[in-house]
Amino acid sequence: MEFVTLSNGIKMPIIGYGVYQITKECCERCVLDALKAGYRSIDTAQSYFNEEEVGSAIAKSGIPREEIFLTTKVWIEHYGYEGCKASVLESMRKLQTEYIDLMLLHQPFGDYYGAWRALEELYEDGKLRAIGISNFYPDRMIDLASFSRIKPMINQIEVHPYNQQTEAKKWNEKYHLQVEAWAPFGEGREGLFENETLKAIGKKYGKTTAQVMLRWHIQRGIVVIPKSTHSDRMAENFNVFDFVLADEDMNAIAALDRSASVFFSHTDPNMVEWFVKMAEERKQQHDCSKEKKNW
Ligand SMILES: NC(=O)c1ccc[n+]([C@@H]2O[C@H](COP(=O)([O-])OP(=O)(O)OC[C@H]3O[C@@H](n4cnc5c(N)ncnc54)[C@H](OP(=O)(O)O)[C@@H]3O)[C@@H](O)[C@H]2O)c1
């Protein structure tokens, strides 16, 4: 296993297993399979609604807790100091753990300053080993990094061959944030797994396009968290430490950059409104279920 060292000295595996869009029914089995394949870093989030299943898989695996690097993320409706603090404790309960290795603020909207103060305190209390952000474009990252007491250690952003984030990477590095790629395959959108350049490079090394993409990220010093529900693909994605892409291949992949998201832009006002609406709806549902429980 290869590791990166975060700005606070904590070591994090350079490859982890992501559980976005894995249903509650599948999640425990998938995480157990991933651990069996050798992964020791798991990436979940409050908004994936599968923290409990991740927690039970880790407990059932028998692997000592300290050998696993566990990441989760605070969702917008829990932003603000009090809400964030309570939600982190709730995540710990669901994950059956006394501490979380990495806690991220999932989106750059809402009272993320209040939430960040809560993370700073929980970090100082030893409940969080590292704290960071996700989807903060350089402008918001610089703002938070500059006006907070404890600087974020990681920024988890969309990175793959069609959206290489070269500028964002430079800015994050300037502020000592480790870049972590979400959707390291771009979820296969726009034919990424079938890309001819990636296929040709794969042929040269006897590797699949998925393995070439992960290796390319790793050689850029970027942490990856590929997701698959298939155990053979989990093993395939983990098997990327026995070859090195030559400079000419790294350059050929660099030329694939379209510098645009294959999902959406976090600076698109329509998307910001969509996030606001979603957070309000979830808060209402949350408040309703709390009221019901009070009856
Ligand atoms: N912070 C954020 O806002 C954010 C957003 C998105 C994702 N994430 C994190 O990043 C993780 C990864 O991103 P992602 O799940 O969106 O996308 P991804 O890892 O880029 O791609 C997952 C897709 O690729 C397929 N796949 C996986 N390995 C493959 C292989 N070897 N060959 C062919 N197909 C393969 C999977 O299918 P099967 O499952 O059918 O194998 C799935 O459809 C997430 O799980 C989550 O933890 C974070």
CA of 78 to the centre of ligand 1 (A): 25
Active-site option among 48, 112, 123, 162? 48
Q: What's residue 265's pLDDT?
A: 92
Averaged pLDDT, groups of 10, the chain, 295 residues long: 97 98 97 98 98 98 98 96 98 98 97 98 98 98 98 98 98 98 98 98 98 98 98 98 98 98 94 91 78 54
Place of tokens 């990681």: 154
pLDDT at position 292: 60
- Answer yes or no: is 59 within a domain: yes
CA 185–ligand 1 middle distance (angstroms): 7
User: Nearest Cα to 197, choosing from 259, 263, 251?
Assistant: 251
Name every protein residue with a CB atom under 6 angstroms from any ligand 1 atom: 18-20, 43, 106, 134-135, 156, 182-188, 193, 208, 210, 225-230, 233, 236-237
Q: Could you tell me how many helices (H) and strands (E) the chain has, helices first? A: 11, 10
Structural domain includes residue 287: no
Ligand 1 atom at minimum distance from 186 CA = 20
What is the model's pLDDT at position 218? 98
Whether residue 51 lies inside any domain: the answer is yes
Residues 6+ apart with CB under 8 A from 178: 4, 6, 7, 12, 132, 153, 154, 155, 172, 223
The per-residue pLDDT for 283 is 80
Q: Is 292 a member of any domain?
A: no
Q: Is 190 part of a structural domain of the chain? A: yes
Strands (E), the chain: 3-5, 11-13, 17-18, 41-43, 69-74, 100-105, 128-134, 154-158, 178-182, 223-224
**Ligand 1 center from residue 204 Cα (angstroms):** 25
Q: What percent of the chain has a predicted confidence (pLDDT) above 90?
A: 93
Length of the chain: 295
Q: Cβ(211)–Cβ(239) under 8 Å?
A: yes
User: Whole domain around residue 250: which residue ranges?
Assistant: 3-263
User: Whole-prediction pTM value?
Assistant: 0.96
Give me the CATH number covering residue 81: 3.20.20.100
Q: Is 48 a catalytic residue?
A: yes
